[in-house]
């Protein structure tokens, strides 16, 4: 390990760490889920019944709770809830696994010992955010938000944090005892492999014209970032519902695979181009999930994998140039993806 980065993202916490790259995960599923985050079932330690006291009733007596993956290493718990006769709103508890350097946790964050793990809590005005970590740096971040902030009928922060406590307690128990489940991904899946293995530094330099490149694997195994002069290159493996809206953009065949190209403008000094490639579908998802609706045709049970390659240029770059670089890198990366 080289060092750590600590960045505030919105009102939540982001802990990033510079780590050595690695290859694909082991085929063995011996041991607990936190032994290898590349094969973790991200929702396996969350129980819908534990949230029943804070959720409305769904079908029958089932609590109005959904638990679904939001990525290979993240999960969302959604509670439908009404208060004081006001509107029904959704509370979302998101968990995400990753790594930190425990010794470099900022001194201004309060750290509490809870058995084999430690817990930090952010002082956030409108939501709750915590980070649970072991001495080896394996972490679970927990962040909770509500869809409505109505003084007459919305949530209170106290209630929101009590709901988050349920997820935090589950994460503390699972991380401390290493009791989460593991998943076996087939060869045609992005699951179990790191995006950093798809591109070489020399290829980044060739596409961007940079004289040197530094690779940074963020706190999550499924995201890799390269800094190359004025350019930043990001390659990420994602898992989204099959019913989710697909990005609007130009369809183009790259390395024999149909891709979507979206050029974006975020800030006055940043031009970004994204290229997305869809891959394997899961119907249903084999990991743990829960939907209180219990319908026979539950579209939420289906997921699709995608690879997203993004090039951002700073200090005077153009979107056309960002897309040229992104195309060149996709030509290199796509043949190394599953299913190529």
Q: Which of 81-90, 180-189, 226-235, 283-292 has the lowest mean pLDDT?
A: 81-90
The answer to the question of residue 183 being in a domain is: no
Q: How confident is the model at residue 29 (pLDDT cuts 50, 70, 90)?
A: low
| Mean pLDDT score across all residues of the chain | 83
Q: Which of 129-143, 145-159, 215-229 has the lowest mean pLDDT?
A: 145-159
The answer to the question of residue 58 being in a domain is: yes
Regarding whether 124 and 248 lie in a shared domain, the answer is no
The answer to the question of residue 205 being in a domain is: yes
Predicted TM-score of the model (pTM): 0.85
Regarding whether 242 and 137 lie in a shared domain, the answer is no
Regarding whether 226 and 133 lie in a shared domain, the answer is no
Regarding whether 87 and 224 lie in a shared domain, the answer is no
Regarding whether 162 and 98 lie in a shared domain, the answer is yes
Regarding whether 97 and 33 lie in a shared domain, the answer is yes
pLDDT at 40: 96
Tokens 């968990």 found at: 95
Regarding whether 109 and 152 lie in a shared domain, the answer is yes
The answer to the question of residue 104 being in a domain is: yes
CA-to-CA dists, residue 3 to 27, 117, 134, 179, 303, angstroms:
30, 21, 17, 29, 35
Element (H, E) at 112: strand 110-114
The answer to the question of residue 200 being in a domain is: yes
Regarding whether 320 and 212 lie in a shared domain, the answer is yes
Per-residue pLDDT of 273-294, as tens digits, reads 999 999 999 998 999 999 876 5
Residues in the chain: 340
pLDDT at 122: 72
Q: What Rg, from alpha-carbon coordinates, does the chain have?
A: 21
Q: How far apart are CA 232 and CA 144, in angstroms?
A: 30
Alpha-helical regions (H) of the chain = 157-177, 201-208, 319-333
pLDDT at 295: 47
Q: Is the pLDDT of residue 325 over 70?
A: yes
Could you give the number of structural domains in the chain? Answer: 2
- Domain-terminating residue out of 142, 177, 212: 177
pLDDT at 28: 53
Could you tell me what percent of the chain has a pLDDT over 90?
Answer: 58
Q: Rounded to 5, what percent of the chain is helix, strand, coil?
A: 20, 40, 40
- Domain-terminating residue out of 146, 177, 208: 177
Regarding whether 71 and 42 lie in a shared domain, the answer is yes
Map residue 305 onto helix, strand or coil: strand
Per-residue pLDDT of 197-222, as tens digits, reads 999 999 999 999 999 999 876 578 99
Regarding whether 199 and 67 lie in a shared domain, the answer is no
Q: Which of 110-119, 163-172, 267-276, 283-292 has the lowest mean pLDDT?
A: 267-276
Regarding whether 227 and 157 lie in a shared domain, the answer is no
Element (H, E) at 29: none
Regarding whether 125 and 25 lie in a shared domain, the answer is yes
pLDDT at 268: 59
pLDDT at 4: 28
Domain CATH for 252? 2.60.120
Q: Is the pLDDT of residue 109 over 90?
A: no
More confident residue, 231 or 28: 231
Enclosing domain of residue 296: 195-336
pLDDT at 267: 56
């Amino acid at each position: 390990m080289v060092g750590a980065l600590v960045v505030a993202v919105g009102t939540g916490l982001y802990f990033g760490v510079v780590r050595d790259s690695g290859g694909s995960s082991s085929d063995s599923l011996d041991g607990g889920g936190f032994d290898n985050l590349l094969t973790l079932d991200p929702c396996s330690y969350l129980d819908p019944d534990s949230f029943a006291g804070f959720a409305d009733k769904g079908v029958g007596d089932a609590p109005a709770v959904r638990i679904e993956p939001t990525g290979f290493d993240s999960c969302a718990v959604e509670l439908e809830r009404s208060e004081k006769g006001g509107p029904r709103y959704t509370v979302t508890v998101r968990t995400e696994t990753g790594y930190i350097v425990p010794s470099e946790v900022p001194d201004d964050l309060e750290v509490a010992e809870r058995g084999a793990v430690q817990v930090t809590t952010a002082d956030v005005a409108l939501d709750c955010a915590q980070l649970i970590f072991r001495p080896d740096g394996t972490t679970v971040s927990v962040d909770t938000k509500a869809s409505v902030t109505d003084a007459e009928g919305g949530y209170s922060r106290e209630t929101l944090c009590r709901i988050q406590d349920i997820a935090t307690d589950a994460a503390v128990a699972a991380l401390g005892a290493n009791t989460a489940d593991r998943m076996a991904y087939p060869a045609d899946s992005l699951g179990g492999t790191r995006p950093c293995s798809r591109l070489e530094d020399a290829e980044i330099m060739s596409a961007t014209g940079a004289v040197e490149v530094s690779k940074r694997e963020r706190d999550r195994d499924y995201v890799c970032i390269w800094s190359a002069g004025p350019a930043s290159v990001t390659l990420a493996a994602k898992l989204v519902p099959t019913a989710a809206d697909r990005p609007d953009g130009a369809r183009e065949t790259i390395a024999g695979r149909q891709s979507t190209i979206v050029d974006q403008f975020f800030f006055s000094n940043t031009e970004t181009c994204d290229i997305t490639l869809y891959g394997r579908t899961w119907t249903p998802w084999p990991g743990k999930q829960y939907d209180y609706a219990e319908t026979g045709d539950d579209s939420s049970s289906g997921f699709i994998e995608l690879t997203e390659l993004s090039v951002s240029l700073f200090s005077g770059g153009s979107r056309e140039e960002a897309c040229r670089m992104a195309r060149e890198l996709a030509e290199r990366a796509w043949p190394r993806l599953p299913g190529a």
